[in-house]
Amino acid sequence: MRIENSHMVTSNSKSYFRIVEKSHRKYIAALKHAQSRQSIMNLYWGHKREHESLLKKHLKEEMSEIIQLKKKFE
């Protein structure tokens, strides 16, 4: 079975990318206003935690989609 590229980017993927883009914009804006090295590091660690949780949620949603697709072949 061949899957076309248009089906590779699902609505969940689009939503994930929009949320990540928003997160990065917020992070970059906050970096511009940082006043110390420690505040930069705090911003980074907070951004990293947020990014990891978004990715974890996104991958969980994708796995549920995969499971649904697999059920069609049973």
CA 54 to the chain's CA centroid: 5
Q: pLDDT tens for residues 39-66?
A: 999 999 999 999 999 999 999 999 999 9
User: How does pLDDT run across 7-44, given as a tens digit for each residue?
Assistant: 556 777 888 999 999 999 999 999 999 999 999 999 99
pLDDT of residue 2 exceeding 60: no
**Global pTM?**
0.74
Q: Which two tokens stand for residue 54?
A: 């978004």
